[in-house]
Each structure stands twice: as structure tokens, then as C-alpha cells.
Amino acid sequence: MNNLKIGLALGSGSSRGWSHIGVINALIKNGIEPDIVCGTSIGALVGASYVNGKLDELEKWATSLTKFESAKLYEINSSLNGFVNTKRLHALMQETVAAESTLIEDLPKKFATIATDLDSGREIWLKKGSVLEAVWSSISLPGLFPAVRKNEQWLVDGGLVNPVPVSTCRALGADLVIAVNLNGDLLGRHMRKNHLENLESKETKRQELKVKQLPQANSLPALADKFTSLIGGYTPSFFSTKKDKATSPSLFETIASSVNITQDRITKSRMVGDPPEIIITPHLAHIGIIELYRAKEAIEEGEKCVNAMLPEIKRVLGL
């Protein structure tokens, strides 16, 4: 490799981001270890875990998730500023990503995350300070997470401005960049595809009936409590239930498709101007935005994708 520094740009993609674990594992098994890691959104979370030496713990936790355990990560609160149980997820991140006191500048490899300034729309690179704060800022997808306050700015998901942070890797000194794009095959597919055919339609209808029959609440907190109590049984059907083509898409389908469209357009535009030397695009259109319990298949797809490209990867890296 002639001492060239390798950068790994891990892209955004919510639940599909578990594929990054498979990509990293496959690269390491073949003697390819990046010197610089930059991540956006879920890429920031997986990248931080890897650089901090906790990737095995993260993989063990992710692959142990069931639909029920995944549903427990979601809630609705009275402020309506997010849909993720941040307290529960924060505790899990301390176990599988980094301790509260861990600083980016103390990590053994160069690392950065990407966030978006909600007020100006500017791209923010987080290259020092708290690892957890940098990850939280990068994963704060509007509608699911509340915005993060940092340095007088409200920060949200970096996928809105830089879904695959090739440019950040180069700025940190990478000579060659391996980019992982999780959104390359999504548009027009995930809303048509049903991969939970074992969900009985009558159960879905029963859950829908429950929502329709919610009693009049005297306060927003009361309604939030009722909604949260139903989320465990209802979450798996957000993206995966069969629908007639004329049926209006759900709120979460609409959010997911809107994010996918934005990120797809931005990714294509930015990669034309600054193409990576290697681009890995796992096929993940069948995994919905909040289907965290599908980690095993996402990880396997990441490994499979790297193995299929291995001859080209080694050629480019001079191995």
C-alpha cells in the first residue's frame, strides 16, 4: 500500500447501518484496516464503536435484538420532539460504543462524525470532544430523535448534508477512501416490498382498531402514555404490512422515503465531485428504517458485499 493512509467513510441508513459491522469485520479479516474513520448517522455510531474497540459488544447486542426489544427503544413524549427512548438508548451506547468520558482526541485512530446545523443548514464536522456527544449529534434524525444543543447550535442528523463522508476522510488525511453507501438501492423499492408475510392481517387490523378507539385524553401526556403502550405491538408493522396500492403511506413510510430521496440525491451529487477510490453498496432495500432487529442479515450482507469486491479492493489498495 506504499504507506498510503486508508479512510473509511461509513454512510447513513438507520437500521441498515448494522451492515457496517459486516463491512468492517470482512475488511479486517482480509488484513485491511483503515487509519481514518468518519461516519454519518448510524455510520457514526458503528464507526465510534469500532475505533473505540467495542465493535464485538455492539454486534452481540444488535444481533440479540428481537422485535419486542426493538420496540422498547421507541416511545412518544409530551413534548413531541422525538420518537426514540433516548434514556434507554444512551445507556446502551455507553456499553457498546463509548463511555461518557471518552474523548475523540484520545481514540487510537482519527475519527469524526457529521451533523447538520438546524438553523443554517451548514455541515458540522465533530472531530474532538465527547465521542457520545458527537455520535448523538450525528444520529439525531428529525422525527425520531430530538435535536442536540452544542456550541449554541441545534444539531441534527448529518445525513441531511453529507450522507457518505468521503470529503471528511480526505480532510483528515486519507489518501484512499473506502466508502459504504447504504442508500444506493432504496428508492421505489422499500415501500413495495413486504418481508414480514408471517404477520397476520387480522392482527394488524386489530392494532389499527385499537388506535382508532383511543379514548379522549384530557391532556397530551395521557395521550402519549396511551400511544407508548401500543407501540410495542404496532412498531413492526410501520413498514412491513401489506397495503393496497391506493392506500395512503403511513407517517413513517413518508418520513423514510423523504429522507431516502434527499440522501440519494445528495450522495450522488457529492460523489461526482469527490468520488471514493472504492465504493461498497450493500443491498438493503428490504430493511425498514426502524427494523433494528434485522441486524444479523444486514451484517451478513455487508460481509458478502466486501467479499464479492475483494479482488478489486486489493487491486486498488495495492495488496
pLDDT at position 187 is 56
| 262 HSE (CA, 13 A, CB side) | 16
Q: Which residues contact 243 (CB under 8 A, 6 or more apart)?
A: 249
CA 268 – CA 298 distance, rounded (Å): 22
Active-site residue numbers? Answer: 41, 157
Residue 317 clears pLDDT 80, i.e. is over it: yes
Query: 256 CB contacts (<8 Å, ≥6 apart)?
Result: 14, 190, 239, 288, 289
- pLDDT, average across residues 112-141: 93
pLDDT over threshold 80, residue 206: no
pLDDT at 260 over 60: yes
Q: What's residue 76's pLDDT?
A: 56
Give residue 39's pLDDT. Answer: 97
Out of 129-138, 264-273, 302-311, which region has the weakest mean confidence (pLDDT)?
264-273
149-158 pLDDT, tens per residue? 888 888 988 8
CATH homologous superfamily for the domain 6-185+254-317:
Cytosolic phospholipase A2 catalytic domain (3.40.1090.10)
Q: What is the pLDDT of residues 14-35, one digit of tens each?
A: 889 999 999 999 999 999 999 9
Q: Report the pLDDT value the prediction gives residue 83, as an integer from 0 to 100.
A: 61
Q: How far is CA 1 from CA 31, 50, 176, 318, in A?
A: 12, 22, 10, 5
Q: Does the pLDDT at position 280 exceed 50?
A: yes
| Cell triple for 230 | 401500543
Query: Per mean pLDDT, which range of 142-146, 198-202, 212-216 is the poorest?
Result: 198-202
Question: What's the confidence (pLDDT) of residue 115?
Answer: 95
Which of 50-54, 84-88, 92-96, 205-209 has the lowest average pLDDT? 205-209
- Residue 167 contacts residue 270 (beta carbons within 8 Å): yes
Is it the case that residue 81 has pLDDT exceeding 70? no
Whole-number average pLDDT of the chain: 80
What's the pTM? 0.79
Please report the beta strands in the chain, taking only residues with DSSP state E, as ranges in sequence order: 6-10, 36-40, 110-117, 123-126, 148-150, 153-157, 176-180, 278-280
